[in-house]
Amino acid sequence: MGDYTNVYAGQEAIEVLPWVLARVELLPADSVAHAKGPVLRAFLKPNEECGPRLVHAVPSGFITGTFMELDLFDDAELAQFCGTWGMIAAPYAGSIARMSARIVDPKTEETLLVKAYDASGAELPSRHRIDCERYGRDVWYAGLNGAPRDAAYGARLGGGNWMEAFNRDTTARGGEVLNAYHFAEGGGDRCALIYADEVRHALAIMRVAVLANGFYERAGGNIVHTFRLAVRHDDINEARCGRRPFEEALSLFMDTDFLHPRKEAYASKGVLDGVRESMMHERFRIIEENTMLFADLCLSSVPEPLVAHGGFRRGGLAKLRMPDVGGNARYGNLLQAMAAQLYAYLNDGNPWVVCEVCGRPFKYEQQLMSPITSETKARKEYQCRHRPTKTAFCSKRHEKEVYGPRNAESRRLMKALAKIRADATEESARNIMG
């Protein structure tokens, strides 16, 4: 894979810190003052000791199982996903660290606004006089300025990439304004407001990262074949559930026409193939660059994983360090755990397989369909060294689709056989007695 092939050779699991499991609800745009789109509200769901509930790990196969089932364009599904597995925010400009801090610490918003006012040489006024539009944005820009790695990646990617998706009034930058309003209007409870669009964009680029890399390795590095597998996968899913998961996610970041060539535009099939192939190579290069740097930012989002790793990057970018953001470094986050799982899968040397049911690339069947909330079980998960998979299904759910009915049938047969045997034994016993 061009630049990134051997950066991640020879290492498996990366353990990340547990993350906060918040209660998440979807709020329509018109129910949140000043909102420019639907909003997810994440708020603390305390455990018995009044601390935050934590998720310690995602189960094996999560990024190619449960995560792929999610309809990214259904906001209610996004809220449910985040409430089950962990809240999502942009792994960019410090958004994730601020989100976790807002959920666990009621003083966060005030502290951020004090700092923002302070930077412009002013003092935080009383709540109703806070300039939320200006200082909310300032909080976001301060987060970006405080993250040299993010800026370096932005420079490397140039314009027209996923980073721009977070620099909008309806995503991460606008979310800061919303949280400022929430505080100014009296809300001080432990909660974070995140635009559904921010969550969608972050998960979409992660989805493209998993699918594109999985298909690429499955296709043995042949780019035309990589996209053929992706289109076939979308065709299967469209027939199954009316969605094209790869193309839909990719379309948030680039024009996807190249996946469906309009043949009449070219004089002959030879020209078509040539043009299309070079376009595919170019598109794949862009996808690779964007997804690898995105995954790297996820992996490196505060705090750093517990195990040293080479990262998805190389060269000068590898030397950049995240800045110290102080007290927020206690928790990991779901995107980081997903990036760590992708990293492990790209590393472990086992082959990718394509699911017989959904056409998705996977490495290990997802058996456990819920998050891991025990530290001991998480340790086991991280220490597990996988063998190449023998199954043809990405998850237990898809295995059941094929073998479920057959299993039920064979269970009925076994029962009937057992009864016949029992009856026969009884009869022969009677015969002997008789």
Task: Please report the DSSP string for 8-23 in residue order.
Answer: GTT--------EE--E
Whole-angstrom distance, CA of residue 271 vs CA of residue 265: 10
Q: Which residues 388-417 are close enough to bind Zn ion by CB under 5 A? A: 394, 398
Least separation in angstroms between residue 284's CB and Zn ion is 24
First to last CA, the chain: 79
Query: Does residue 236 interact with Zn ion by CB under 5 A?
Result: no
Strands across the sheet containing 191-195: 23-27, 39-43, 191-195
Least separation in angstroms between residue 357's CB and Zn ion is 4
Helix (H, G, I), strand (E, B) or coil at 41: strand
Quick check: 75 and 196 in contact, CB under 8 A? yes
Please calculate the CA angle 350-354-355 and round it to the nearest 5 degrees: 120
Task: Please report the DSSP string for 275-289 in residue order.
Answer: HHHHHHHHHHHHHHH
Q: Which residues 141-200 are close enough to bind Zn ion by CB under 5 A? A: none
Q: Which residues 358-387 are close enough to bind Zn ion by CB under 5 A? A: 358
Least separation in angstroms between residue 392's CB and Zn ion is 9
Nearest residue to Zn ion on Cβ basis: 355
**Contact stretch for Zn ion (CB under 5 A) within 217-225, 273-281, 354-362, 383-391:** 354-362
- Of 37 and 359, which CB lies nearer to Zn ion in the complex structure? 359
Whole-angstrom distance, CA of residue 96 vs CA of residue 84: 17
Query: Does residue 211 interact with Zn ion by CB under 5 A?
Result: no
- Of 142 and 355, which CB lies nearer to Zn ion in the complex structure? 355
Helix (H, G, I), strand (E, B) or coil at 40: strand
- Of 286 and 392, which CB lies nearer to Zn ion in the complex structure? 392
Least separation in angstroms between residue 238's CB and Zn ion is 15
Quick check: 85 and 371 in contact, CB under 8 A? yes
Least separation in angstroms between residue 358's CB and Zn ion is 3
Which one of 334, 354, 355, 372 is in contact with Zn ion (CB under 5 A)? 355
Whole-angstrom distance, CA of residue 58 vs CA of residue 42: 19
Least separation in angstroms between residue 347's CB and Zn ion is 23
| Total chain residues near Zn ion (CB under 5 A) | 5
- Of 134 and 240, which CB lies nearer to Zn ion in the complex structure? 240
Query: Does residue 357 interact with Zn ion by CB under 5 A?
Result: yes
**Beta bridge mates, 353:** 362
- Of 40 and 394, which CB lies nearer to Zn ion in the complex structure? 394
Least separation in angstroms between residue 338's CB and Zn ion is 18
Whole-angstrom distance, CA of residue 242 vs CA of residue 425: 54
Site string for Zn ion, 306-345 (x = CB under 5 A): ----------------------------------------
Least separation in angstroms between residue 387's CB and Zn ion is 20
SS3 percent helix, strand, coil of the chain, rounded to 5, is 55, 5, 35
Whole-angstrom distance, CA of residue 25 vs CA of residue 38: 11
**Contact stretch for Zn ion (CB under 5 A) within 79-87, 241-249, 334-342, 353-361:** 353-361
List contacts with Zn ion (CB under 5 A).
355, 357-358, 394, 398
